Amino acid sequence: MRPRSPQTALLQPRRSGPVRGRYFNTGRGPTLQPVDIGHRDYIGLVDPDTAFWALVRKERLGGVLTDGPFLRAYRKKAAAFAAEMDTLRFGLRPSAVYFNPTDRCNLNCTYCYIPATMRRGGVHMSSDRLIGALAILRDHFAATLPRRAKPQIIFHGAEPLLNREAIFAGIDRYRKDFRFGIQTNGTLLDDGAIEFLTSRGVSIGLSLDAEVERAASRTRKTWGGGGVYHKVVRALERLRGYPDYSVICTVTRENVRRLPRIVDFFHGLEIPTCMLNPLRCTRQGARGIKPGDREMSRYYRQALDRTEELYRRTGRKLVVANFANALIAILAPQARRLMCDISPCGGGRSFFAVSARGDMFPCSEFIGLEEFNGGNLFRDGIADVLNGDVFRKVTERDVDDIDSCSRCAIRHFCGSPCPAEAHEMNGGMRRIGAFCEFYEDQTRYALRLIADGREGSFLWNDWDAQTTTSFQWETASLKAGQ
Ligand code: SF4
Ligand code: SF4
């Protein structure tokens, strides 16, 4: 990975010379861009390079920018914030693997990124080979991560439970070495599988796109076109009370208007965490059901507001993890848990994906795109693959180099996802992805919540357990923090 970063140097206060950085936006002073967050009383101020933010009462903006104390306080911290952002963007090492134990899937979802030929007739990894692969990964992480760190293996799909015997053998063999998770379509999650996974503390992710069968079956269906709604809901009912499970709802044109009803349904099932993910448009099949950005934003915000109402009424949260992550990206950038909204994204940088043949890709989203196959786990050194030309195409995609994003004040809250989408849909890594206006709206909404002190309703209770406050400034006219 390439060394960085120009910003760190730029923000170092100079001890001598003609320019001391006393003023904002000129000389060596901090860059603070006003951002319209759509709030009646507050306007945002963002340093796009460090992701530092402040919310200022509109009538006090001029005073805040020209009065000394606030700018002086920020100037003292700016170099440290730039260094933190630098580490987050360029200094991480992979600590997780999305592991596909099979190419095959029993479903044929409209938006799947894995080619149909692979899902129908691809390979299963044998138990011996899977155990061998986990041994290779264990040894790699033992050499690259701090001693107490426990890397994560997420069995992913295609449908991992089609190769249940192999993954269960791997989990039992390496429980001490890894934290395990599984992302499944839920159709094969019977009592035996649930007992095995929950008794071993495996985190479980399922997929469900609507609160009623007819709508859910439009996008997630069997090869024969049948729905799987009842099977998935039964699995969700069996998981009630287990602390570590979640549901992904992929948002398409088919279900976008239902989002508020979907969160009602999930909350009623006592699901602790869900994701309302705008569908990735990497594959042609997905692009035909892409919701418009404006429509997506409108119903997404309504759904989030609804989770807050439900929390107020019942005292029980349904955390929308992708939005919680967007909030955390603002409040404490280093504490974010998902890595699509930082640039370069987490693909190949904080995790990578392994296919059923052992081929390594920067992220599952690239499985099926042969030009992003970086090498084979059984044949090539992991470090060589991570640093090789193929992975670097993704790990060096930098929002600062993307025309439409490089001047965007919120680029380090958004990250300009997704490289796979940009490459396949818009023709190159230096192109924008599919949902710019939606991401813009999401950040503005998040800043409005913070201005109103409402953000706690949308976050996990323990989200800040391992964070420390490095900047706090709260007066009648201004709020800022990190
Ligand atoms: S995708 Fe849009 S919102 Fe995100 S960084 Fe680029 S211009 Fe900004
Ligand atoms: S932005 Fe795309 S490639 Fe990057 S981690 Fe997210 S899904 Fe993977």
Taking only the tens place, the pLDDT of each residue in 383-418 is 999 999 999 999 999 999 998 899 999 999 999 999
User: How far, in Å, CA of 61 to CA of 80, rounded?
Assistant: 25
pTM: 0.92
Of 80, 56, 66, nearest to 29 (Cα)? 66
pLDDT at residue number 478: 75
Q: What is the CA radius of gyration of the chain?
A: 23
Q: Is 126 exposed, middle or buried (0-12, 13-18, 19+ CB in 10 A)?
A: middle
Residues 6+ apart with CB under 8 A from 234: none
- For residue 431 and ligand 1, the question of a CB distance below 6 A is answered with no
Pinpoint the alpha helices (H) of 187-275.
191-199, 213-219, 229-239, 259-268
pLDDT at residue number 128: 97
Q: Which amino acid is at 105?
A: C
* Pocket-testing residue among 404, 426, 444, ligand 1, by greatest number of atoms within 8 A of Cβ: 404
Q: How far is the CA of 440 from the centre of ligand 1 (A)?
A: 6
- Ligand positioned closest to the Cα atom of 341: 2
Q: How far is the CA of 85 from the centre of ligand 2 (A)?
A: 19
Instruction: Look up residue 211 and give its two tokens.
Output: 């609160």
- For residue 418 and ligand 1, the question of a CB distance below 6 A is answered with no
Q: How far is the CA of 473 from the centre of ligand 1 (A)?
A: 27
Strands (E) located in 36-85: 42-47, 52-57
Q: How far is the CA of 86 from the centre of ligand 1 (A)?
A: 19
Per the CB < 8 A criterion, the answer to whether 313 and 444 are in contact is no
Of 155, 162, 167, 259, nearest to 208 (Cα)? 259
User: How far, in Å, CA of 482 to CA of 477, rounded?
Assistant: 18
- Ligand positioned closest to the Cα atom of 422: 2
- For residue 347 and ligand 2, the question of a CB distance below 6 A is answered with yes
Strands (E) located in 282-417: 319-320, 351-354, 359-361, 375-376
Name the residue at shortest CA distance from atom 3 of ligand 1: 440
Is the peptide bond between 5 and the residue preceding it cis, with omega within 30 degrees of 0?
yes
User: How far, in Å, CA of 71 to CA of 44, rounded?
Assistant: 15
Q: How far is the CA of 189 from the centre of ligand 2 (A)?
A: 26
Q: What is the spatial order of strands in the sheet that 245-251 belongs to?
A: 319-320, 273-278, 245-251, 203-207, 179-183, 152-155, 96-99, 351-354, 359-361, 375-376
Taking only the tens place, the pLDDT of each residue in 124-150 is 999 999 999 999 999 999 999 998 899
Q: Which atom of ligand 2 is nearest to the CA of 341?
A: 1
Of 18, 38, 22, 19, nearest to 30 (Cα)? 22
- The strand pairing partners of 124, in sequence order, are 102
* Residue numbers in the chain where pLDDT is lower than 50: 1-18
User: How far, in Å, CA of 116 to CA of 104, rounded?
Assistant: 9
Residues in the chain: 482
Q: How far is the CA of 405 from the centre of ligand 1 (A)?
A: 5
pLDDT at residue number 407: 93
Per the CB < 8 A criterion, the answer to whether 13 and 79 are in contact is yes
- The strand pairing partners of 155, in sequence order, are 99, 182
pLDDT at residue number 221: 94
Provide DSSP, 408-475. -TTHHHH----HHHHHHHHSSTTS--S-HHHHHHHHHHHHHHHHTT-GGGGS-TTTTTT---S-EEE-
Q: How far is the CA of 170 from the centre of ligand 1 (A)?
A: 40
pLDDT at residue number 466: 74
DSSP assignment, residue 36? -
Of 356, 401, 342, nearest to 91 (Cα)? 342
Q: How far is the CA of 444 from the centre of ligand 2 (A)?
A: 22
Name the residue at shortest CA distance from atom 6 of ligand 2: 340
* Pocket-testing residue among 399, 405, 406, 430, ligand 1, by greatest number of atoms within 8 A of Cβ: 405
pLDDT at residue number 404: 87
